[in-house]
Chain A
Amino acid sequence: MPLLEIDDLAVTFATPGGDVRAVDGVSLSVDEGGATAVVGESGSGKSQTAFSVLGLLAKNGRATGAVRWDGEDILNAPDRRLRTLRGEEIGIIFQDPMTSLNPFMRVGSQLAEALTEHRGVSRREAEREAGRMLDAVRIPDAKARLRQYPHEFSGGMRQRVMIAMALLNRPRLLIADEPTTALDVTVQAQIMELLADLRREFGMALLLITHDLGIVAGACEETVVMYGGRVMEKGPTADLFAAPTHPYTVGLLAAVPRIDGDGDLAAIPGDPPDMSRPLPGCPFTPRCPLAHAPCPTVRPPMDGRRACHAPVPDVRALAARLAPEAAE
Chain B
Amino acid sequence: MTLLRLEDLSVTFPVARRGAWPWEAPDLLRAVTDVSLEVAAGETLGLVGESGSGKSTLARAVIGTIPASSGRVLWEGQDLAALSAGRRRRHRAEVQMVFQDPLAALNPRMTVGRAIAEPLQTHEPDASRDERRRRVGEVMEKVGLSPKLMDRYPHEFSGGQCQRVGIARALVLNPRLIVADEPVSALDVSVQAQVVNLMKRLVKDMGISLIFIAHDLSVVRNVSDRIAVMYLGRLMEVGPARPLIAAPAHPYTRALVEAVPVPDPARGAVRAAGLVEGDIPSPLSPPSGCVFRTRCPRARPDCADAPPALRPVRETEAACIHPIAEAAHA
CA A164 to CA B189, docked complex, whole Å: 30
Task: Determine the chain B residues whose CB is within 8 A of the CB of A251 once the complex forms.
Answer: 190
Is B261 within 8 A of A267, CB to CB?
A: no
CA–CA, A15 and B189, complex, Å: 28
Q: Interface stretch among A47-55, A78-86, A87-95, A151-159?
A: A151-159
Whether the Cβ atoms of A257 and B265 lie closer than 8 Å is no
Assuming the contacts A189-B275, A217-B265, A258-B263, asked whether A271 and B193 have C-beta atoms less than 8 A apart, the reply is: no
A239 to B248, CA, bound (A): 32
Q: For residue A260, which residues in chain B have a CB less than 8 angstroms away from its CB?
A: 262
Partner of A185, one of B215, B265, B277: B215
Q: Are B266 and A265 in contact (CB under 8 A)?
A: no
Q: Using a CB-CB cutoff of 8 Å, which residues 155-171 of chain B contact chain A?
A: 158-161
Decide: B158 and A271 in contact? CB cutoff 8 A: yes
How many residues of chain B have a CB within 8 Å of chain A? Answer: 46
Chain A interface main SS type: helix
Q: Taking CB as reference atom, which chain B residue is nearest A237? A: B265
Whether A269 and B217, one on each chain, are in contact in the complex, defined by CB atoms closer than 8 angstroms, is no
Binding-face segment, A56-64, A206-214, A298-306: A206-214
Known contacts A41-B188, A193-B275; is-contact A259 B262 (Cβ 8 Å): yes
A276 contacts B by Cβ under 8 Å: no
Does B138 interact with chain A (Cβ within 8 Å)?
Answer: no
CA–CA, A32 and B276, complex, Å: 32
- A99 interfacial contact with B, CB 8 Å: no
A266 with B261: CB separation less than 8 A: no
A residues 9-64 near B (Cβ < 8 Å) are: 41-42
Residues on the A chain within 8 Å of B51, using CB:
155, 184
Interface residue? B258 (CB, 8 A)? yes
What distance in Å separates the Cβ of B224 from its nearest Cβ neighbour in chain A? 12
User: Are A216 and B217 in contact, CB atoms less than 8 angstroms apart?
Assistant: no
Whether A307 is near chain B, meaning CB under 8 Å from some CB there, is: no
Contact present for A217 and B221 (CB under 8 Å): no
CA separation between A267 and B193, bound complex, in Å?
5
Q: Which of A185, A238, A241 contacts B256 (CB 8 A)?
A: A185
Docked pose: A188 CA to B256 CA in angstroms: 11
The answer to whether A155 touches B188, judged by C-beta atoms less than 8 angstroms apart, is no
Q: Which one of A186, A242, A266 lies within 8 Å of B276 (CB-CB)? A: A186
In the complex, whether B191 has a CB less than 8 A from a CB of chain A is yes
Tell me, rounded to whole Å, the shortest Cβ–Cβ distance linking B174 to chain A: 25
Report A48 CB to chain B, min CB distance, Å. 17
Q: Is B279 an interface residue (CB 8 A)?
A: yes
A259 touches B257 (CB 8 A): yes
Q: At the interface, yes or no: B50 with Cβ under 8 Å from chain A?
A: yes
The answer to whether A218 touches B261, judged by C-beta atoms less than 8 angstroms apart, is yes
In chain A, positions 229-246 with a C-beta closer than 8 Å to chain B are: 237-238, 241-242
Q: Select A241's contact among B218, B219, B222, B264, beta carbons within 8 Å.
A: B264
Q: Is B299 an interface residue (CB 8 A)?
A: no
Pair A218/B265 contact, Cβ less than 8 Å: yes
Determine the chain B residues whose CB is within 8 A of the CB of A214 once the complex forms. Answer: 260-263
Is A268 in the interface zone, CB < 8 Å from B?
yes
Best-surrounded residue of B193, B218, B256, B267 (most CB of chain A within 10 A): B193
Q: Which residues B248-282 have CB closer than 8 A to chain A?
A: 255-269, 271-272, 275-277, 279-280
Q: Which of B161, B197, B216, B267 contacts A265 (CB 8 A)?
A: B197
Cβ of B109 < 8 Å from any Cβ of A? no
Q: Are A257 and B259 in contact (CB under 8 A)?
A: no
A42 contacts across to B, CB distance below 8 A? 159, 188
Residue of B190, B196, B256, B275 near A41 (CB, 8 A) is B190
- Complex CA gap A157/B267 in Å reads 26
Seed contacts A217-B262, A257-B222, A261-B222; 12 additional CB < 8 Å A-B pairs: A184-B50, A190-B277, A237-B265, A242-B265, A251-B190, A255-B192, A256-B218, A257-B196, A259-B217, A259-B218, A272-B158, A272-B190
Give the A-binding residues of B (Cβ under 8 A): 50-51, 158-161, 188-194, 196-197, 200, 215-219, 221-222, 245, 255-269, 271-272, 275-277, 279-280
